[in-house]
């Protein structure tokens, strides 16, 4: 038996391929009786429904794993294994019959500590594939611990050169200044996309939609450039480099409605969207009236653990239903200048900057900023900037 660890490009129906969400799989090919049919065998596909994330924390020992298995040819066997990451503790074969698609729903009692749940699938042509999820179980795991391997990411879109709109002076420089401070002071991994067209924006967001994030990882998404509000549509838009000025259907614009859905579906538990664009407050005008979160009344570690274990979908915009200033050339926009000041100060003596603290820096701007929630934001969630030691 030859074990080949590699990433495959599977020739599957588009509807199935789009649902693929899983850790890099181990693929096993049987070459004991080599033949063209065996070498070119198509591989099964495992799509996790629960747990969806590669790494999960849980306070309960009982969990129900759910997954869908698909194969171009009949599935020969499905096995569920549970271990601690170093050795298996048990394995259960499933009685599935002769099918090409199978929905797996299996209750499992997990032990305290790290549990690695693995699904192994083999089809009748000898193609075998496995996919796993890690679940950390403990009574205090979710409420009192901060993962040492957590990471913060920042994706910044900045446009100051337009094909059909007036150019701006500060967005690209603003994005670089924000990224530099996030990286140097807070340890963020940053990526800047300069002057993107419509496809560039959504292709990059789709790329992040396929990334693997750990439960306490955070993702900041920043937009700087032109914004627009259309009274007929009753909706705001971000203007891309190639957006047309005379586009009645607004198909060349980035609608706030589409942006909400795409960003919310990125598989990071904690997302903060900051928009330094005109009419940014129309991103969510209903919840934009929400102001602040509760103050901390626990230790710094407990406070961080509490925030990093609540599903977060927050946004902050540079204004409401209005135009906002791009600022003086080389001096940053008013919004970004205040944002940089907040990040530079670092949240006071605890070295933790929360969104409510950040908002205090910018709420006195002439164009009143808006802060709120979108998607399936959890009550009392937050996005925290933690100064590096």
Q: What pLDDT does 380 receive?
A: 80
Cβ neighbours of residue 148 closer than 8 Å, sequence gap 6 or more: none
Displacement of CA 33 from its chain's centroid (Å)? 44
Helix axes 256-264, 198-209, angle to 10 degrees: 20
Q: What pLDDT does 102 receive?
A: 94
Pairing, β 218-224 against β 152-158: parallel
Q: What pLDDT does 328 receive?
A: 46
3-state secondary structure of 92: strand
Written as six digits, the tokens of 365 are: 């701007």
Q: What pLDDT does 134 receive?
A: 86
> End-to-end CA distance of the chain, in Å?
49
Per DSSP, what are the bridge partners of residue 115? 135
pLDDT (tens digit, 0 to 9) for every residue of the chain, 389 residues total? 333 333 333 333 333 333 333 344 455 555 455 544 444 568 899 999 888 777 777 777 888 999 999 999 999 999 999 998 777 788 999 988 889 999 999 998 888 888 899 999 999 998 999 999 888 887 555 445 677 778 999 999 999 999 999 999 889 999 999 999 999 999 999 999 999 999 999 999 999 999 989 888 999 999 999 988 888 877 888 999 999 988 888 899 999 999 999 999 999 999 999 988 775 544 544 422 232 333 334 566 667 777 777 788 888 886 544 444 444 455 678 888 888 999 999 887 888 999 989 888 887 676 667 788 888 888 788 999 999 87
Angle at 242 between CA 248 and CA 254, to 5 degrees: 60
Q: What pLDDT does 187 receive?
A: 93
The whole-angstrom separation of Cα 119 and Cα 25 is 10
The whole-angstrom separation of Cα 142 and Cα 254 is 36
The whole-angstrom separation of Cα 281 and Cα 374 is 12
Q: Please give the DSSP secondary-structure letter assigned to residue 47.
A: E
Question: Over pLDDT 90: what percentage of the chain?
Answer: 38
Q: Please give the DSSP secondary-structure letter assigned to residue 305.
A: H
The whole-angstrom separation of Cα 351 and Cα 330 is 29
Cβ neighbours of residue 155 closer than 8 Å, sequence gap 6 or more: 190, 191, 193, 204, 208, 219, 220, 221, 222
**Contact of 273 with 318, CB cutoff 8 Å:** no
Q: What pLDDT does 7 receive?
A: 36
Q: What pLDDT does 296 receive?
A: 34
Q: Please give the DSSP secondary-structure letter assigned to residue 287.
A: G
**Contact of 317 with 369, CB cutoff 8 Å:** yes
Neighbour-count burial of 190, counting CB atoms closer than 10 A to its CB (0-12 exposed, 13-18 middle, 19+ buried)? buried
Q: H/E element holding 103? A: strand 101-109
Cβ neighbours of residue 358 closer than 8 Å, sequence gap 6 or more: 316, 339, 342, 385
Per DSSP, what are the bridge partners of residue 303? none
**Contact of 136 with 59, CB cutoff 8 Å:** no
Q: What pLDDT does 292 receive?
A: 31
Q: What pLDDT does 324 receive?
A: 44
Q: What pLDDT does 283 receive?
A: 53
Written as six digits, the tokens of 131 are: 């996919």
Task: Answer yes or no: pTM beyond 0.85.
Answer: no
Q: What pLDDT does 139 receive?
A: 53
Q: Which residue has the tokens 């937050």?
A: 382
């Amino acid at each position: 038996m030859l074990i080949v660890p590699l990433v495959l490009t599977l020739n599957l129906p588009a509807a199935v391929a789009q649902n693929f969400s899983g850790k890099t799989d181990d693929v096993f090919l049987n070459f004991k009786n080599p033949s063209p049919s065996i070498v070119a065998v198509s591989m099964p596909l495992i799509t996790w429904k629960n747990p969806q994330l590669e790494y999960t924390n849980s306070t309960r020992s009982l969990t129900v794993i759910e997954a869908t298995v698909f194969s171009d040819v009949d599935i020969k066997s499905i096995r569920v294994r549970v271990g601690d990451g170093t050795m298996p503790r048990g394995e259960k074969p499933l009685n599935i019959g002769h099918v090409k698609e199978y929905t797996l729903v299996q209750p499992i009692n997990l032990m305290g500590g790290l549990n690695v749940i693995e699904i192994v699938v083999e089809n009748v042509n000898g193609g075998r594939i496995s996919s796993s999820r890690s679940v950390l179980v403990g009574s205090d795991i979710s409420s009192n611990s901060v993962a040492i391997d957590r990471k913060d990411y920042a994706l910044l879109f900045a446009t100051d050169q337009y094909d059909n709109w007036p150019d701006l002076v500060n967005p690209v420089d603003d994005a670089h200044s924000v990224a530099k401070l996030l990286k140097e002071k807070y340890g963020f991994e940053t990526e800047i996309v300069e002057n993107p067209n419509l496809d560039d924006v959504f292709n990059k967001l789709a790329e992040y939609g396929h990334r693997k994030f750990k439960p306490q990882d955070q993702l900041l998404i920043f937009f700087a450039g032109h914004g627009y509000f259309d009274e007929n549509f009753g909706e705001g838009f971000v203007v891309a480099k190639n957006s047309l000025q005379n586009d009645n259907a607004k198909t060349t614009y980035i609608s706030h409605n589409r942006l909400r859905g795409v960003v919310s579906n990125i598989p990071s538990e904690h997302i903060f969207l900051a928009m330094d664009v005109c009419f940014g407050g129309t991103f969510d005008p209903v919840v934009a009236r929400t102001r602040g979160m509760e103050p901390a009344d626990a230790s710094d570690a407990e406070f961080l653990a509490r925030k990093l274990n609540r599903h977060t979908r927050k946004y902050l915009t540079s204004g409401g239903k209005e135009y906002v200033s791009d600022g003086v050339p080389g001096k940053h926009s008013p919004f970004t200048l205040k944002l940089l000041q907040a990040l530079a100060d670092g949240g006071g003596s605890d070295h933790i900057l929360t969104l409510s603290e950040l908002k205090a820096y910018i709420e006195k701007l002439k164009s009143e900023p808006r802060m709120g929630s979108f998607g399936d934001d959890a009550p009392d969630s937050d996005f925290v900037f933690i100064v590096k030691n």
